[in-house]
Amino acid sequence: MLDRIKASLPSLAPAEQRVGKLVLSDPRSFANLPVSELADRAHVSKPTVVRFCRSIGYDGLSDFKLKLAGTVSEGVPFIHRSVDVDDKTGDVLVKVIDNTVAAFLKYRNDASTFAIEKAVEALAATYKTGRRIEFYGVGNSGIVAQDAQHKFFRLGVNTIAYSDGHMQVMSASMLGPGDCVVVISNSGRTRDLMDACDIARKNGATTIVMTATGSPLASAGHIHLAADHPEGYDRYSPMVSRLLHLMIIDVLATTVALRIGPRLQPLLREMKNNLRNKRYA
Protein backbone atom coordinates (compact mmCIF):
# COMPACT_ATOMS: atom_id res chain seq x y z
CA MET A 1 0.00 0.00 0.00
CA LEU A 2 2.82 2.41 0.86
CA ASP A 3 4.61 1.54 -2.39
CA ARG A 4 1.41 2.33 -4.23
CA ILE A 5 1.16 5.74 -2.57
CA LYS A 6 4.78 6.53 -3.48
CA ALA A 7 4.13 5.60 -7.11
CA SER A 8 0.98 7.75 -7.24
CA LEU A 9 2.45 10.93 -5.69
CA PRO A 10 3.70 12.57 -8.93
CA SER A 11 0.24 12.37 -10.51
CA LEU A 12 -1.56 13.98 -7.56
CA ALA A 13 -2.40 17.63 -6.97
CA PRO A 14 0.06 19.47 -4.67
CA ALA A 15 -2.36 19.48 -1.73
CA GLU A 16 -3.04 15.76 -2.11
CA GLN A 17 0.70 15.14 -2.32
CA ARG A 18 1.07 16.68 1.14
CA VAL A 19 -1.51 14.21 2.45
CA GLY A 20 0.37 11.36 0.78
CA LYS A 21 3.66 12.44 2.33
CA LEU A 22 1.97 12.58 5.72
CA VAL A 23 0.83 8.97 5.29
CA LEU A 24 4.32 7.84 4.30
CA SER A 25 5.96 9.65 7.20
CA ASP A 26 3.81 7.98 9.87
CA PRO A 27 1.25 5.49 8.50
CA ARG A 28 0.33 4.13 11.93
CA SER A 29 -0.67 7.56 13.26
CA PHE A 30 -2.54 8.40 10.06
CA ALA A 31 -4.68 5.29 10.47
CA ASN A 32 -5.74 6.36 13.98
CA LEU A 33 -6.10 10.16 13.85
CA PRO A 34 -9.40 11.97 13.08
CA VAL A 35 -9.75 13.76 9.76
CA SER A 36 -9.52 17.20 11.38
CA GLU A 37 -6.13 16.37 12.89
CA LEU A 38 -4.92 14.89 9.61
CA ALA A 39 -5.97 18.00 7.72
CA ASP A 40 -4.15 20.24 10.20
CA ARG A 41 -0.95 18.22 10.01
CA ALA A 42 -0.96 18.21 6.20
CA HIS A 43 -2.02 21.89 6.01
CA VAL A 44 -4.99 21.05 3.80
CA SER A 45 -8.76 21.03 4.11
CA LYS A 46 -10.71 18.01 5.34
CA PRO A 47 -12.26 17.39 1.87
CA THR A 48 -8.73 17.25 0.43
CA VAL A 49 -7.90 14.35 2.74
CA VAL A 50 -10.93 12.46 1.42
CA ARG A 51 -10.07 13.36 -2.19
CA PHE A 52 -6.57 11.99 -1.70
CA CYS A 53 -8.00 8.63 -0.59
CA ARG A 54 -10.26 8.46 -3.64
CA SER A 55 -7.52 9.62 -6.01
CA ILE A 56 -5.43 6.56 -5.20
CA GLY A 57 -8.35 4.18 -5.60
CA TYR A 58 -10.14 3.83 -2.25
CA ASP A 59 -13.80 4.40 -1.45
CA GLY A 60 -13.03 7.18 1.02
CA LEU A 61 -11.18 7.94 4.22
CA SER A 62 -12.73 5.10 6.24
CA ASP A 63 -11.88 2.50 3.60
CA PHE A 64 -8.36 3.90 3.24
CA LYS A 65 -7.68 3.92 6.99
CA LEU A 66 -9.00 0.37 7.36
CA LYS A 67 -6.66 -0.92 4.66
CA LEU A 68 -3.78 1.17 6.00
CA ALA A 69 -4.27 -0.22 9.50
CA GLY A 70 -4.16 -3.73 8.08
CA THR A 71 -0.94 -2.95 6.25
CA VAL A 72 0.95 -1.57 9.23
CA SER A 73 -0.28 -4.27 11.63
CA GLU A 74 -0.11 -7.31 9.36
CA GLY A 75 3.51 -8.00 10.15
CA VAL A 76 4.14 -9.71 6.80
CA PRO A 77 7.39 -8.37 5.31
CA PHE A 78 6.89 -7.57 1.63
CA ILE A 79 10.47 -7.86 0.42
CA HIS A 80 11.35 -9.40 -2.91
CA ARG A 81 13.54 -12.38 -2.14
CA SER A 82 15.43 -13.19 -5.33
CA VAL A 83 16.43 -16.75 -5.93
CA ASP A 84 20.22 -17.11 -5.91
CA VAL A 85 22.23 -19.49 -8.06
CA ASP A 86 23.56 -21.36 -5.03
CA ASP A 87 20.16 -21.82 -3.38
CA LYS A 88 19.19 -25.35 -2.44
CA THR A 89 15.79 -26.72 -3.45
CA GLY A 90 14.45 -26.07 0.04
CA ASP A 91 15.60 -22.44 -0.16
CA VAL A 92 13.85 -21.97 -3.49
CA LEU A 93 10.68 -23.53 -2.11
CA VAL A 94 10.59 -21.14 0.86
CA LYS A 95 11.47 -18.02 -1.14
CA VAL A 96 8.94 -18.59 -3.91
CA ILE A 97 6.09 -19.47 -1.54
CA ASP A 98 6.88 -16.68 0.97
CA ASN A 99 7.06 -14.11 -1.79
CA THR A 100 3.75 -15.26 -3.24
CA VAL A 101 1.96 -15.30 0.12
CA ALA A 102 3.30 -11.86 1.01
CA ALA A 103 2.15 -10.46 -2.33
CA PHE A 104 -1.35 -11.90 -1.89
CA LEU A 105 -1.68 -10.50 1.64
CA LYS A 106 -0.42 -7.13 0.47
CA TYR A 107 -3.01 -7.09 -2.30
CA ARG A 108 -5.74 -8.03 0.16
CA ASN A 109 -4.85 -4.96 2.23
CA ASP A 110 -4.25 -2.59 -0.69
CA ALA A 111 -7.01 -3.57 -3.11
CA SER A 112 -9.54 -0.90 -3.98
CA THR A 113 -12.99 -2.38 -3.51
CA PHE A 114 -14.33 0.68 -5.33
CA ALA A 115 -12.34 -0.13 -8.49
CA ILE A 116 -13.24 -3.81 -8.31
CA GLU A 117 -16.91 -2.93 -7.87
CA LYS A 118 -16.81 -0.66 -10.92
CA ALA A 119 -15.15 -3.40 -12.97
CA VAL A 120 -17.73 -5.99 -11.85
CA GLU A 121 -20.59 -3.61 -12.69
CA ALA A 122 -19.18 -3.06 -16.18
CA LEU A 123 -18.66 -6.78 -16.81
CA ALA A 124 -22.09 -7.73 -15.45
CA ALA A 125 -23.78 -5.03 -17.53
CA THR A 126 -22.03 -6.30 -20.66
CA TYR A 127 -23.17 -9.83 -19.88
CA LYS A 128 -26.79 -8.78 -19.40
CA THR A 129 -26.93 -7.04 -22.78
CA GLY A 130 -25.21 -9.91 -24.59
CA ARG A 131 -22.38 -7.70 -25.78
CA ARG A 132 -18.75 -8.81 -26.02
CA ILE A 133 -16.15 -9.09 -23.26
CA GLU A 134 -12.61 -9.40 -24.58
CA PHE A 135 -9.33 -10.04 -22.77
CA TYR A 136 -5.99 -8.79 -24.12
CA GLY A 137 -2.49 -9.68 -22.96
CA VAL A 138 0.89 -10.58 -24.42
CA GLY A 139 3.55 -12.99 -23.19
CA ASN A 140 2.78 -14.13 -19.64
CA SER A 141 -0.18 -11.76 -19.55
CA GLY A 142 -1.52 -13.45 -22.67
CA ILE A 143 -1.76 -16.68 -20.70
CA VAL A 144 -3.68 -14.84 -17.98
CA ALA A 145 -6.04 -13.46 -20.65
CA GLN A 146 -6.73 -17.00 -21.87
CA ASP A 147 -7.44 -18.13 -18.31
CA ALA A 148 -9.85 -15.21 -17.89
CA GLN A 149 -11.66 -16.12 -21.11
CA HIS A 150 -11.98 -19.72 -19.92
CA LYS A 151 -13.49 -18.66 -16.59
CA PHE A 152 -15.95 -16.17 -18.09
CA PHE A 153 -17.14 -18.29 -21.00
CA ARG A 154 -18.21 -20.94 -18.45
CA LEU A 155 -20.56 -18.28 -17.06
CA GLY A 156 -22.28 -18.02 -20.43
CA VAL A 157 -20.47 -14.81 -21.34
CA ASN A 158 -19.82 -13.90 -24.97
CA THR A 159 -16.04 -13.62 -24.65
CA ILE A 160 -12.70 -14.19 -26.36
CA ALA A 161 -9.01 -13.66 -25.57
CA TYR A 162 -6.28 -12.37 -27.88
CA SER A 163 -2.53 -12.43 -27.29
CA ASP A 164 -1.49 -11.27 -30.77
CA GLY A 165 -1.06 -7.52 -31.21
CA HIS A 166 -2.53 -7.42 -34.70
CA MET A 167 -5.60 -9.40 -33.65
CA GLN A 168 -6.05 -7.13 -30.64
CA VAL A 169 -6.04 -4.00 -32.78
CA MET A 170 -8.41 -5.52 -35.35
CA SER A 171 -10.83 -6.78 -32.72
CA ALA A 172 -10.72 -3.50 -30.75
CA SER A 173 -11.62 -1.71 -33.98
CA MET A 174 -14.89 -3.66 -34.11
CA LEU A 175 -15.92 -3.00 -30.52
CA GLY A 176 -18.45 -0.35 -29.62
CA PRO A 177 -20.63 1.04 -26.83
CA GLY A 178 -21.78 -1.73 -24.51
CA ASP A 179 -18.73 -3.90 -25.15
CA CYS A 180 -16.01 -4.35 -22.54
CA VAL A 181 -12.30 -5.11 -22.84
CA VAL A 182 -9.93 -6.15 -20.05
CA VAL A 183 -6.28 -5.32 -20.81
CA ILE A 184 -3.72 -7.20 -18.70
CA SER A 185 -0.08 -6.17 -18.44
CA ASN A 186 2.58 -6.54 -15.77
CA SER A 187 4.69 -3.58 -16.93
CA GLY A 188 1.88 -1.44 -18.33
CA ARG A 189 4.25 -0.32 -21.10
CA THR A 190 3.53 -2.71 -23.97
CA ARG A 191 2.86 -0.70 -27.12
CA ASP A 192 0.45 -3.19 -28.72
CA LEU A 193 -1.75 -3.26 -25.61
CA MET A 194 -1.73 0.53 -25.35
CA ASP A 195 -2.79 0.82 -29.00
CA ALA A 196 -5.61 -1.70 -28.61
CA CYS A 197 -6.84 -0.07 -25.40
CA ASP A 198 -6.88 3.38 -27.02
CA ILE A 199 -8.82 2.09 -30.03
CA ALA A 200 -11.39 0.26 -27.90
CA ARG A 201 -11.92 3.32 -25.71
CA LYS A 202 -12.20 5.62 -28.73
CA ASN A 203 -14.92 3.34 -30.15
CA GLY A 204 -16.96 3.60 -26.95
CA ALA A 205 -16.14 0.27 -25.29
CA THR A 206 -15.54 0.17 -21.55
CA THR A 207 -11.84 -0.44 -20.90
CA ILE A 208 -10.59 -2.14 -17.73
CA VAL A 209 -6.82 -2.19 -17.25
CA MET A 210 -5.07 -4.57 -14.86
CA THR A 211 -1.55 -3.26 -14.43
CA ALA A 212 1.01 -1.50 -12.25
CA THR A 213 0.20 1.85 -10.66
CA GLY A 214 1.87 4.79 -12.38
CA SER A 215 2.37 2.97 -15.69
CA PRO A 216 1.13 4.47 -19.00
CA LEU A 217 -1.56 1.80 -19.29
CA ALA A 218 -2.87 2.56 -15.79
CA SER A 219 -4.22 5.92 -16.99
CA ALA A 220 -5.34 4.68 -20.43
CA GLY A 221 -8.45 2.80 -19.34
CA HIS A 222 -11.75 3.75 -17.74
CA ILE A 223 -11.15 1.49 -14.73
CA HIS A 224 -7.75 0.68 -13.25
CA LEU A 225 -7.27 -2.48 -11.21
CA ALA A 226 -3.89 -1.95 -9.56
CA ALA A 227 -1.60 -4.99 -9.55
CA ASP A 228 1.66 -3.88 -7.94
CA HIS A 229 4.50 -6.26 -7.25
CA PRO A 230 8.19 -5.20 -7.37
CA GLU A 231 9.29 -8.38 -9.10
CA GLY A 232 12.82 -8.61 -10.43
CA TYR A 233 12.13 -10.32 -13.74
CA ASP A 234 15.31 -9.27 -15.49
CA ARG A 235 16.61 -12.80 -14.98
CA TYR A 236 13.39 -14.80 -14.74
CA SER A 237 9.93 -14.58 -16.26
CA PRO A 238 7.30 -12.85 -14.08
CA MET A 239 6.02 -15.38 -11.55
CA VAL A 240 4.24 -13.76 -8.62
CA SER A 241 2.81 -10.94 -10.73
CA ARG A 242 1.23 -13.55 -13.01
CA LEU A 243 -0.31 -15.30 -10.00
CA LEU A 244 -1.54 -11.93 -8.74
CA HIS A 245 -3.29 -11.28 -12.06
CA LEU A 246 -4.85 -14.75 -11.98
CA MET A 247 -6.16 -14.11 -8.48
CA ILE A 248 -7.73 -10.80 -9.52
CA ILE A 249 -9.43 -12.56 -12.42
CA ASP A 250 -10.79 -15.12 -9.93
CA VAL A 251 -12.21 -12.29 -7.79
CA LEU A 252 -13.88 -10.71 -10.83
CA ALA A 253 -15.28 -13.98 -12.16
CA THR A 254 -16.64 -15.03 -8.77
CA THR A 255 -18.30 -11.68 -8.15
CA VAL A 256 -19.81 -11.55 -11.63
CA ALA A 257 -21.14 -15.10 -11.14
CA LEU A 258 -22.86 -13.94 -7.95
CA ARG A 259 -24.38 -11.02 -9.85
CA ILE A 260 -25.74 -13.37 -12.51
CA GLY A 261 -27.50 -15.25 -9.73
CA PRO A 262 -29.34 -18.58 -9.43
CA ARG A 263 -30.05 -18.92 -13.15
CA LEU A 264 -26.37 -19.75 -13.63
CA GLN A 265 -26.52 -22.93 -11.51
CA PRO A 266 -28.48 -25.14 -13.99
CA LEU A 267 -25.99 -24.21 -16.73
CA LEU A 268 -23.00 -25.19 -14.60
CA ARG A 269 -24.65 -28.45 -13.51
CA GLU A 270 -25.41 -29.42 -17.11
CA MET A 271 -21.85 -28.60 -18.12
CA LYS A 272 -20.45 -30.87 -15.39
CA ASN A 273 -22.83 -33.67 -16.32
CA ASN A 274 -21.78 -33.45 -19.97
CA LEU A 275 -18.13 -33.67 -18.96
CA ARG A 276 -18.51 -36.82 -16.88
CA ASN A 277 -17.99 -39.20 -19.81
CA LYS A 278 -14.64 -37.48 -20.44
CA ARG A 279 -13.23 -38.93 -17.24
CA TYR A 280 -12.38 -42.44 -16.09
CA ALA A 281 -14.78 -43.77 -13.48
pLDDT of 83:
66
Average pLDDT over the chain, rounded to whole?
88
pTM of the model: 0.70
Where does the pLDDT of residue 73 fall: very low under 50, low under 70, confident under 90, or very high at 90 and above? low
pLDDT of 279:
85
Reply yes or no on domain 2-74 having CATH 1.10.10.10: yes
Average pLDDT of span 202-210: 98
Distance of CA 168 to the CA centre of its chain: 20
Looking at the DSSP assignment, which residues form a beta bridge with residue 161?
Answer: 135
pLDDT of 158:
92
Higher pLDDT, 83 or 27: 27
Where does the pLDDT of residue 237 fall: very low under 50, low under 70, confident under 90, or very high at 90 and above? low
Higher pLDDT, 40 or 99: 40
Helices (H), 111-239: 113-129, 140-153, 165-173, 191-202
Q: How far apart are CA 66 and CA 60, in angstroms?
A: 10
Where does the pLDDT of residue 79 fall: very low under 50, low under 70, confident under 90, or very high at 90 and above? very low
Of the listed ranges 166-170, 184-188, 237-241, the least confidently predicted one is 237-241
pLDDT of 77:
43
Of the listed ranges 198-207, 218-227, 262-271, the least confidently predicted one is 262-271
CATH, range 113-268: 3.40.50.10490
Cα dihedral: 57, 60, 66, 67 (round 10): 0
Q: Name, in order, each residue with C-beta under 8 angstroms of 166's C-beta and a sequence gap of 6 or more.
A: none
pLDDT of 238:
64
Higher pLDDT, 205 or 27: 205
Q: Yes or no: say if 196 and 142 are a contact pair by the CB < 8 Å rule.
A: no
pLDDT of 256:
95
